[in-house]
């Protein structure tokens, strides 16, 4: 046994040693995978963000009209000054910002109240009909987020701002007040009715995971019910509430559909709709300033929230399975609460869909009587007076193309997201404790705090020209896939990590001892043991992508349009019934997808949601 201390080695031997150590490090599967994912995320998140920032301080050809002496590519603060300090800054930036914050906060608080109350009723009381409530909580995952907004419009719009009356005005013959028809109030309520479900799921899971002996211990020590709630139960659900808060707040900050349907007609702009109207006319510099403002506000909120709750706990939902908690008896109030729940279910699920379907059978908007009945929006041959001459939805080749695009986009996105989930889960879990693993996990978190529409905006500036080995993607279908996959990275990483944590590390080690290569270990041990989790993840991604609007609205072109973006275009063209019919088609497709995918391997939407 020759050279056994380092000093005795020759230079060549030392070099050999370093090479061997490096080779060993790099050939660990978790290291290779981490490095690959770092590169991927660098391309998908970091470079686009960087490019967007650069665009806001670079002179573009459209800026030359205003900046006469400048050359294309020069550095300029013009866009920032214009959007933040000039006379139009109030209209362009500060008002929309205020509106966005109002809506996000309002919707989040209302959603918390609804979701928290429902969770408590379901987990902690003997209220009947829990099965239905649980199923209902998945409804917002199936309906596009602006479904309720569209239904709201059918019900409450007024002739003054909307051109034709809504159902309420039609029946009562009284003009619906403006505050009820358009603007912040309807946007807040319709968003809250959609996003309450995050709070419901998270809080219910947290309440389920609380060991009731903690509360019983409190009771034995003589504390009153309210005191126990405040001192024991509440602190334990705070992290769940915080996760719901981050999720809802950042979603509503970046949401486009609701504000576009209920805000824009009365010039009530939010950052997202203002961003769209800027980029829509090619004013990228200004638009990106708004996107950056949006991102900063969303990030600051998340940071404050996490500071308050402590560490990153709030990012993780609380798993844990049922300790049997004592159920509170509602006694006389049972009827009342059941009534509230039934009404609520009616309001969020049955009523909107009924209204939308009803409207699709109306020839002219605003006339809800039977003699206005038509099938033209579904199977019309195309009449120049209806829907700008487009045939009915079921006969319209554009709709079929949009539906096919939606399905393709969702399948590709779900596939790559599940694939990244496996890689990220493995890389992060096997590398636990190393800096590399931490870096990957943190980088994967970034898209989570970037609001949807801003994330889409980030991609406008990216890929207009080739970047490294990636060709120019702007206007292509591939870009939609890239942006959807990138936005899903936090979810892939989270579901990948939790699936991977289910497999104790000894199972893989035992295979390693038996001589299995990393690939054999993955194929024969890890994958079979985690696949159920990935099917549920696949389903979740499929469904969310199917009805995603904010993320892609800035990136679609007529040939790459998906159903979600088509509803917006139709509504902007004033073809309300056609838009509503497309939403119905979209929901039906989601349901079919859900049905088919959940046949495999016992994955299910409820499982994907951790129910």
Partner 1 sequence: METTITVKNLTKKFGTVVAVNNVSVTVEPGTFLTLLGPSGCGKTTLLRCISGLEDPDEGEIYIGDKLVYSHVKGISLAPGKRDLGLVFQNYALWPHMNVYKNLAFALEIQKLSKDEMNRRIKESLAEVQMTGYEDRYPREMSGGQQQRIALARMLAYRPHVFLMDEPLSNLDARLRMDMRTELKRLHHVSGATTVYVTHDQVEAMTMSTNIAIMKEGVIQQMDTPDRVYHFPATLFVADFIGNPKVNLMPGWVSGKDTVDIGKFNVPVSTLNQTGDVVVGIRPEDISISAKQEDDGVEFTAYSVLPSGAETTIIARKGDTELTVREMGVSKIKMDQKIWLKFHKEDINLYDKASGNLVNG
Nearer to partner 1, 336 or 510 (CB): 510
For the CB of residue 5, give the shortest distance to partner 1 in the complex, in Å. Answer: 7
Of residues 302-331, those binding partner 1 (CB under 8 A): none
Nearer to partner 1, 28 or 606 (CB): 28
For the CB of residue 36, give the shortest distance to partner 1 in the complex, in Å. Answer: 21
How far apart (Å, rounded) are the C-alpha atoms in residues 579 and 256?
Answer: 16
Query: Residue 267: which region, alpha, beta or left (left: phi > 0; alpha: psi -120 to 50)?
Result: left
Nearer to partner 1, 13 or 383 (CB): 13
For residue 305, which of 316, 314, 295 has the smallest C-alpha distance? 314
Terminal alpha carbon distance of the chain = 60
Could you tell me if 393 and 589 are in contact, meaning their C-beta atoms sit under 8 angstroms apart? no
Q: What angle do CA 106, 191, 576 make, to 5 degrees?
A: 135
Instruction: By CB under 8 A, tell whether 12 contacts partner 1.
Output: no
Of residues 81-140, those binding partner 1 (CB under 8 A): none
Nearer to partner 1, 307 or 435 (CB): 435
Binding test (CB under 8 A) with partner 1, winner from 5, 71, 173, 332: 5
How far apart (Å, rounded) are the C-alpha atoms in residues 54 and 44?
Answer: 16
Binding test (CB under 8 A) with partner 1, winner from 24, 230, 312, 523: 24
For the CB of residue 379, give the shortest distance to partner 1 in the complex, in Å. Answer: 50
Instruction: By CB under 8 A, tell whether 19 contacts partner 1.
Output: yes
How far apart (Å, rounded) are the C-alpha atoms in residues 453 and 550?
Answer: 5
Task: Give 320-326's long-range contacts (Cβ < 8 A, gap of 24+).
Answer: 320/205, 320/208, 320/209, 321/208, 321/209, 322/208, 323/208, 323/209, 323/210, 323/211, 323/212, 323/213, 324/212, 325/123, 325/124, 325/207, 325/208, 325/210, 325/212, 325/215, 326/212, 326/215, 326/216
For residue 557, which of 477, 484, 486 has the smallest C-alpha distance? 477
Instruction: By CB under 8 A, tell whether 18 contacts partner 1.
Output: yes
For the CB of residue 524, give the shortest distance to partner 1 in the complex, in Å. Answer: 7
How large is the angle between the packed helices 527-546 and 576-597, nearest 10 degrees? 170
For the CB of residue 312, give the shortest distance to partner 1 in the complex, in Å. Answer: 20
Burial of 306 (0-12, 13-18, 19+ CB in 10 A): middle
Nearer to partner 1, 3 or 54 (CB): 3
How far apart (Å, rounded) are the C-alpha atoms in residues 411 and 486?
Answer: 15
For the CB of residue 19, give the shortest distance to partner 1 in the complex, in Å. Answer: 7
Instruction: By CB under 8 A, tell whether 3 contacts partner 1.
Output: yes
For residue 492, which of 425, 549, 552 has the smallest C-alpha distance? 425
How far apart (Å, rounded) are the C-alpha atoms in residues 232 and 19?
Answer: 56
Burial of 471 (0-12, 13-18, 19+ CB in 10 A): exposed
For the CB of residue 209, give the shortest distance to partner 1 in the complex, in Å. Answer: 24
And the tokens for 364?
A: 């002219």
Of residues 528-547, those binding partner 1 (CB under 8 A): 528-529
Q: What angle do CA 443, 498, 204 make, to 5 degrees?
A: 105
For the CB of residue 514, give the shortest distance to partner 1 in the complex, in Å. Answer: 4
Nearer to partner 1, 432 or 569 (CB): 432
For the CB of residue 531, give the shortest distance to partner 1 in the complex, in Å. Answer: 10
Instruction: By CB under 8 A, tell whether 16 contacts partner 1.
Output: yes
Could you tell me if 132 and 345 are in contact, meaning their C-beta atoms sit under 8 angstroms apart? yes
Instruction: By CB under 8 A, tell whether 26 contacts partner 1.
Output: no
Of residues 497-526, those binding partner 1 (CB under 8 A): 504, 506-507, 509-517, 520, 524-525
Of residues 358-417, those binding partner 1 (CB under 8 A): none
Nearer to partner 1, 24 or 599 (CB): 24
Contact region with partner 1 (CB under 8 A), list: 11-19, 76-84, 283-291, 337-345? 11-19
How far apart (Å, rounded) are the C-alpha atoms in residues 543 and 594?
Answer: 7
Nearer to partner 1, 339 or 528 (CB): 528
Instruction: By CB under 8 A, tell whether 476 contacts partner 1.
Output: no
For the CB of residue 515, give the shortest distance to partner 1 in the complex, in Å. Answer: 3
How far apart (Å, rounded) are the C-alpha atoms in residues 458 and 450?
Answer: 10
Could you tell me if 257 and 153 are in contact, meaning their C-beta atoms sit under 8 angstroms apart? no
How far apart (Å, rounded) are the C-alpha atoms in residues 538 and 49?
Answer: 27
Nearer to partner 1, 274 or 503 (CB): 503
Instruction: By CB under 8 A, tell whether 1 contacts partner 1.
Output: yes
How large is the angle between the packed helices 11-26 and 29-41, nearest 10 degrees? 70
Binding test (CB under 8 A) with partner 1, winner from 21, 230, 312, 329: 21
For the CB of residue 20, give the shortest distance to partner 1 in the complex, in Å. Answer: 3
Instruction: By CB under 8 A, tell whether 438 contacts partner 1.
Output: no
Nearer to partner 1, 408 or 432 (CB): 432
Contact region with partner 1 (CB under 8 A), list: 5-13, 37-45, 58-66, 69-77? 5-13
Instruction: By CB under 8 A, tell whether 6 contacts partner 1.
Output: yes
Nearer to partner 1, 481 or 511 (CB): 511
Of residues 268-307, those binding partner 1 (CB under 8 A): none
Instruction: By CB under 8 A, tell whether 559 contacts partner 1.
Output: no
And the tokens for 456?
A: 């889409």
Burial of 371 (0-12, 13-18, 19+ CB in 10 A): exposed
Nearer to partner 1, 401 or 501 (CB): 501
Nearer to partner 1, 374 or 434 (CB): 434
How large is the angle between the packed helices 147-156 and 184-209, nearest 10 degrees? 140
Nearer to partner 1, 29 or 218 (CB): 29
Residue ranges in contact with partner 1 by CB under 8 A: 1, 3-6, 9, 13, 16-21, 24, 504, 506-507, 509-517, 520, 524-525, 528-529
């Amino acid at each position: 046994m020759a050279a056994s201390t380092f000093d005795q080695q020759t230079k060549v031997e030392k070099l050999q040693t370093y090479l061997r150590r490096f080779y060993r490090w790099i050939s660990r599967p978790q290291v290779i995978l981490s490095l690959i994912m770092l590169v991927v995320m660098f391309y998908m998140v970091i470079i686009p963000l960087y490019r967007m920032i650069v665009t806001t301080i670079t002179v573009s050809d459209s800026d030359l009209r205003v900046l006469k002496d400048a050359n294309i590519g020069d550095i300029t603060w013009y866009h920032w000054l214009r959007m933040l300090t000039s006379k139009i800054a109030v209209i362009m930036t500060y008002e929309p910002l205020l509106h966005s914050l109002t809506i996000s906060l309002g919707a989040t608080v209302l959603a918390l109240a609804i979701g928290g109350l429902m969770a408590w009723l379901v987990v902690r009381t003997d209220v009947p009909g829990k099965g239905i409530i649980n199923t209902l909580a998945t409804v917002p995952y199936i309906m596009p987020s602006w479904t309720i907004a569209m239904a709201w419009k059918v019900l409450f719009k007024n002739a003054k701002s909307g051109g034709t009356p809504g159902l309420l005005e039609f029946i009562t013959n009284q003009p619906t007040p403006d505050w009820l028809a358009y603007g912040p109030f309807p946007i807040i309520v319709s968003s809250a009715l959609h996003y309450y479900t995050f709070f419901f799921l998270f809080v219910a899971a947290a309440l389920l995971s609380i060991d009731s002996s903690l509360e019983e211990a409190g009771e034995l020590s003589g504390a009153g019910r309210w005191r126990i709630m405040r001192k024991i139960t509440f602190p334990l659900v705070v992290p769940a509430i915080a996760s719901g808060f981050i999720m809802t707040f950042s979603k509503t900050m970046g949401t486009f559909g609701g504000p576009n349907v209920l805000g824009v007609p009365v010039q009530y702009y939010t950052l997202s709709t203002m961003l769209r109207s800027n980029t829509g006319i090619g004013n990228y510099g200004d638009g990106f300033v708004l996107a950056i403002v949006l991102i900063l506000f969303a990030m600051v909120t998340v940071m404050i929230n996490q500071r308050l709750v402590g560490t990153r706990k709030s990012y993780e939902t609380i798993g844990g399975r049922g300790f049997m908690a004592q159920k509170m008896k509602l006694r006389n109030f049972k009827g009342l609460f059941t009534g509230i729940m039934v009404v609520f279910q009616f309001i969020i699920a049955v009523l909107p869909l009924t209204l939308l379907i009803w409207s699709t059978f109306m020839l002219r908007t605003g006339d809800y009587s039977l003699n206005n009945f038509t099938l033209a929006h579904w199977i019309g041959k195309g009449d120049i007076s209806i829907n700008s001459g487009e045939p009915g939805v079921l006969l319209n080749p554009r709709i079929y193309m949009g539906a096919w695009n939606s399905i393709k986009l969702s399948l590709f996105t779900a596939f790559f997201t599940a694939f990244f989930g496996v890689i990220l889960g493995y890389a992060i879990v096997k590398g636990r404790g190393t800096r590399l693993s931490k870096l990957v996990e943190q980088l994967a978190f970034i898209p989570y705090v970037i609001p949807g529409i801003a994330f889409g905006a980030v991609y406008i500036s990216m890929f207009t020209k080739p970047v490294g080995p990636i060709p120019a993607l702007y206007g292509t279908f591939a870009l939609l896939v890239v942006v959807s996959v990138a936005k899903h990275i936090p979810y892939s990483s989270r579901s990948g990590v939790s699936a991977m944590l289910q497999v104790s590390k000894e199972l893989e080690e035992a295979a390693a001892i038996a001589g299995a290569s990393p690939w054999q270990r993955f194929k024969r041990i890890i994958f079979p043991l985690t696949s159920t989790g990935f099917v549920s993840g696949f389903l979740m991604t499929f469904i969310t992508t199917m009805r995603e609007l904010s993320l892609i609205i800035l990136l679609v072109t007529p040939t790459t349009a998906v159903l979600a973006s088509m509803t917006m275009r139709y509504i902007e063209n004033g073809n309300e019934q056609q838009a509503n019919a497309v939403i119905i088609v979209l929901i039906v497709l989601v349901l079919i997808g859900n049905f088919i995918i959940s046949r495999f391997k016992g994955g299910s939407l409820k499982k994907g949601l951790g129910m």
